[in-house]
Amino acid sequence: MNLMAIKMLRNSRIARYTLDNRAHVSLFGNANMQVRCKSQKIMRSNKAIEINRYQRPEESIGVYGYCLLSIPIATFALGTWQIKRWRWKLDLIKNLKYRTSTEPIDLPSDLDELKHKEYYPVKVKGKFLYEKEFLMGPRSLILGGEAVSEKSGGIFSRKPGTGYYVITPFKLEDRDLTIMVNRGWIPKSDRTLFKMEKKITDSIEIVGIIRATEKRPTFVPDNAPAKGVWHYRDLNAMAKIAEAEPVYIELLPGYSTPQGPIGGQTRVTLRNEHLSYIITWYGLSASTGYMWFRYFVQKLPLL
């Protein structure tokens, strides 16, 4: 075989090998492409199945859903209402501090004006009528305008706990009028100690905070005037027993008698917890609103 024939044979073999390789690559490349496409379709299908697994079928919200929507709406409304209550309490505390810190006024000739003068200090001059005084309680001791439960005060060495107010009629000097004065607090365990105090029989000038009558508080027993039992301020009933006008003042601390009741029993601090209520109601509204949106709008299960 000559050299030319050998070269032609070798070139034909190389060409056939190349064609075979191209056919092989084309055949298996297409196969691999098809396998890859099928795997991607399966992955997308599995992903869709996974998503659909957590999604609920389309359905209308219905009456039940709208009833549940009332929960976040109602809690939002309560939070808004608590904002109004919070502002009202701040104004009340501010007004209370203003009234109790003003200069003492004279007792008006028209006693009806006292209805609009509660918590104002008033100065009067006259004599105490000790023989007609009585107790009202049980009540907690008030120091610095705030009720305390475990604090000694005055001449008492024991922890006061609960006690009674000493209500004493006071005969005015400049007019024929008798009012009632809360001279202060005595402990329940030492109700007889105040009787040992030095009585002031001379005419004196005192200053006290004007207080109005009050309705019977919840869970508090009724007064029993015939038995001398008083649980709350019923000024009209108390005035009949004391033979006085339904005018009631609470003596300031500086006018207490030595070894006598602890004066200054006017509570001027008020609890203001409306801010915590605001946070609570708005928090409930946000959480329940999100749960409702997730379940009824996004159609996702609750976690």
Domain range summary for the chain, segments of one domain joined by +: 1-52, 62-96+273-297, 120-255
Backbone angles phi, psi at 70, to 5 degrees: -65, -20
67: left (phi over 0), alpha (psi -120 to 50) or beta: alpha
Q: Supply the DSSP symbol for 145.
A: T
The pLDDT of residue 193: 65
| Mean of pLDDT values over 259-269 | 89
User: What are the angstrom distances between the C-alpha of 119 and each of 135, 169, 207, 237, 270?
Assistant: 22, 19, 12, 21, 14
Backbone angles phi, psi at 224, to 5 degrees: -130, 80
pLDDT of 213 above 50: yes
pLDDT of 302 above 80: no
| Radius of gyration of the CA atoms of the chain, in A | 44
- Of 92, 140, 137, which Cα lies nearest the Cα of 119? 92
Note the pLDDT tens digit of each residue in 7-65: 555 556 555 555 455 544 444 445 455 545 555 555 665 555 554 555 555 567 778 88
Burial class of residue 284, CB neighbours in 10 A (0-12, 13-18, 19+): middle
- Of 179, 178, 183, which Cα lies nearest the Cα of 135? 183
Note the pLDDT tens digit of each residue in 186-207: 988 776 666 677 788 899 999 9
* First-to-final CA distance of the chain: 86
Measured distance CA(148)–CA(185) in Å, rounded: 12
Measured distance CA(209)–CA(265) in Å, rounded: 9
Least-confidence region, from 133-137, 193-197, 289-293: 193-197
Q: Supply the DSSP symbol for 237.
A: H
Residue type, 124: V
Backbone angles phi, psi at 79, to 5 degrees: -65, -40
Q: What is the pTM of this model?
A: 0.69
